Amino acid sequence: MTGSIARLKRHPAAPWAGAAIVALALLALPFALAAVGTAWVRITNLAILFVFLSLGLNIVVGFAGLLDLGYVAFYAVGAYVYALLASPHFGIHWPFWAILPLGAAVAALFGVLIGAPTLKLRGDYLAIVTLGFGEIVRIFLNNLSQPVNITNGPQGIARIDPFRLGGIDFSKSDNFLGLSFSGPIKYYYLLLAVLLAVIFINVRLQNSRIGRAWEAIREDEIAARAMGIDTTRVKLLAFSMGATFGGVAGGMFSAIQGFVSPESFVLVESIMVVSMVVLGGMGNVWGVILGAVLLSFVPEILRFTVEPAQKQLFGRMIIEPEVIRMLIFGFALVLVMTLRPGGLWPSTVRKRELAERRP
């Protein structure tokens, strides 16, 4: 039995067969989730957005080793660019394929703006400066309703256009091939397509010349410079590329939610994304994806299970479910990190470092 599996594994078509199974599973996933509840499709969509954010931040934190606590700023920029150019707020209704790249470009510009003055800073000092930038962006979004109303302040921007492609409106249900595609399901497929592109870019980046330059800077900046790496340019590149992903995620968030307000871009959000990167395994694309998916799903799974579980165990509510949910989440963070300090799925370089450091 084991022999035949081993033989199957060696078969030249095996990787393709594996990929096909994964692809089929991903295609069927939203229908399986919708059978449980459309809420799960929405949660999955948000999880994919967090995967974008985590992969973007991974470039800055994981590849280049620069701790950024203000990453949510780029997400906010992307979201607001979309909201302003596709809503009744200014009466502008551009199509999404025109705004998304624009949002990404504006976010990249912000990345350079934030990166340039902070090149000299390291570690915790860089963290606090980026945190400051993140807060500054949010405060401006909150206040730019006066003297000229640009962002509509804390009231946020509502009635943002959904994606439209040909005759398909992503916010409404449609029937194709006898299957009912609800709004969230359509967004899922779109997100999935973008996700594949984003993963592809990240994997290629990691093994590219630039990726190795980032890694060199992370390990030893002076040595990297001695090897002829233009550290200024390479660092700025990390900031702007990371920001680009944030901008794209923001634009899609805006369209999916139909509403943005500065409340969605608070510091906690940045910290959450950093947690996803670190918990999953900094520097490893697959680890980071795992981290983002887990941290998006675990609180939601707890939301759905804590209450019935308690009723089942004790016959009544002893502790309020929302308190337990947060307590379990907190304990899980501590537990996972103490058991696997390098993250759940660390990059091979990190794994080597960890092994070396053990006495």
Using CA atoms, how far apart are residues 133 and 113, in angstroms rounded to an integer? 10
Token pair for 161: 């256009």
Using CA atoms, how far apart are residues 46 and 37, in angstroms rounded to an integer? 15
> Of 15-23, 188-196, 239-247, 301-309, which part binds another protein (CB under 8 A)?
301-309
CB 172 within 8 A of CB 184: no
- In sequence order, the 6+-apart residues with CB closer than 8 A to the CB of 131 are 69, 70, 267, 270
Q: What is the nearest approach in angstroms of another protein to the Cβ of residue 301? A: 8
> Of 1-9, 71-79, 189-197, 334-342, which part binds another protein (CB under 8 A)?
334-342
CB 322 within 8 A of CB 257: no
Q: Which is nearer to another protein, 213 or 279 (CB)?
A: 279
Q: What is the nearest approach in angstroms of another protein to the Cβ of residue 52? A: 15
Q: Which is nearer to another protein, 101 or 225 (CB)?
A: 225
Judged by CB under 8 A, the residue of 105, 194, 203, 337 near another protein is 337
Give yes or no for residue 254 binding another protein (CB under 8 A).
no
Token pair for 53: 């954010």
H/E segment holding residue 34: helix 14-36
Q: Which is nearer to another protein, 18 or 222 (CB)?
A: 222
- Phi, psi (5° rounding) for residue 150? -100, -50
- In sequence order, the 6+-apart residues with CB closer than 8 A to the CB of 238 are 59, 60, 63, 64, 66, 115, 214
Q: Which is nearer to another protein, 175 or 338 (CB)?
A: 338
Judged by CB under 8 A, the residue of 11, 92, 233, 263 near another protein is 263
CB 96 within 8 A of CB 162: no
Judged by CB under 8 A, the residue of 94, 123, 180, 230 near another protein is 123
Give yes or no for residue 132 binding another protein (CB under 8 A).
yes
Give yes or no for residue 250 binding another protein (CB under 8 A).
no
> Of 12-20, 89-97, 193-201, 314-322, which part binds another protein (CB under 8 A)?
314-322
- In sequence order, the 6+-apart residues with CB closer than 8 A to the CB of 241 are 56, 59, 108, 111, 205
Using CA atoms, how far apart are residues 136 and 153, in angstroms rounded to an integer? 14
Per-residue contact flags (x/-) with another protein for residues 161 to 190, judged by CB under 8 A: -----------------------x------
Q: Which is nearer to another protein, 15 or 308 (CB)?
A: 308
Q: Which is nearer to another protein, 236 or 328 (CB)?
A: 328
Give yes or no for residue 328 binding another protein (CB under 8 A).
yes
